[in-house]
Chains A and B, each alone.
Chain A
């Protein structure tokens, strides 16, 4: 089984709607990273969460870390076509952020 499970696997939302992507770890989290990837391209860093209860926002994207549940959520408010892509959570396994393990990914499509 995967160490990092993301849900849902894929998501189609209408422009303007809100959405949430979840990332659950089966092992202790030292840090949680969120990245976005367009098909066949590199990863774009979104946010890094290191402390339980931490919440960060950037433009219309908010991420939270629940250390006790070993879970993180990514919430997008008023989605836009530019939000489309694959969202990946990455977990720091070593406490050094050198060994990142990525989640299974969530493919987001935003329709007009």
Chain B
């Protein structure tokens, strides 16, 4: 079983709509959770950390469900510029970061 699993998508979203997707992780002892954004043929960029109580950053909301071992990302009022691949990142048993393969989001006009 992979440490971090994501639906590869693509999630096709009309501009202005809301999109949400999850990521599951296998290590119940994980303590660090992040979402990164990666544009085509570019480096991943940190979008936001995910805290136990959930957190927002503008139009982006991240949630953590420890019982079911998943994190989620919700994007409200989607913009064309939100089109990207979103990487879920979780620390493993050795304290290193494990990256999911990503969920592709395509925002259409």
Query: Are A and B physically bound partners?
Result: no
**A binding-site residues for B, Cβ under 8 Å:** none
